[in-house]
C-alpha cells in the first residue's frame, strides 16, 4: 500500500468504529444527534478502539514513517469531511 492508502485505511477503520459508537443514537429518531455523535465523540473513541484491537498495525505506520499525529489529524478530517455533507443533507431534507 502507498503512503496515502495507509492513512485512508486507518481513517476508514476509525470511521467504522465511530459509526458503531453512534449507531445506538438512531433510536432517538433524530438523525442530527447521530451525526454529531459520529463526528465528535466517535473520533476519539474510534481511535482508542482501533489501537486496542489493532495495536500491532501501529508498527506498519511507524516503519513507513507515518506519525501518530498525522494519522489522527487525517482521520479527524476524513470524518468531518464525511459528516458535514450528511448533516447539511439531513437539515435540507428534514428542515
CA-based torsion, 75, 81, 83, 86: positive or negative? negative
Q: Is the pLDDT of residue 75 over 90?
A: yes
Q: Is the pLDDT of residue 81 over 90?
A: yes
Can you state the angle between helices 68-94 and 31-39, rounded to 10 degrees?
A: 170
- Per-residue pLDDT, averaged over 2-22, amounts to 89
pTM: 0.85
In the DSSP assignment, the letter for residue 29 is: S
| More confident of the two residues 31 and 74 | 74
pLDDT per residue as tens digits for the range 16-50:
999 999 988 888 888 888 888 899 999 999 999 99
Amino acid at each position: 500500500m502507498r503512503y496515502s492508502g495507509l492513512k485512508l485505511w486507518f481513517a476508514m477503520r476509525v470511521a467504522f468504529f465511530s459509526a458503531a459508537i453512534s449507531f445506538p443514537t438512531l433510536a432517538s429518531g433524530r438523525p442530527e444527534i447521530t451525526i454529531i455523535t459520529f463526528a465528535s465523540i466517535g473520533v476519539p473513541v474510534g481511535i482508542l478502539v482501533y489501537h486496542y484491537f489493532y495495536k500491532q498495525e501501529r508498527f506498519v505506520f511507524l516503519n513507513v514513517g507515518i506519525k501518530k499525529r498525522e494519522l489522527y489529524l487525517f482521520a479527524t478530517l476524513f470524518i468531518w469531511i464525511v459528516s458535514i455533507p450528511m448533516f447539511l443533507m439531513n437539515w435540507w431534507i428534514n428542515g
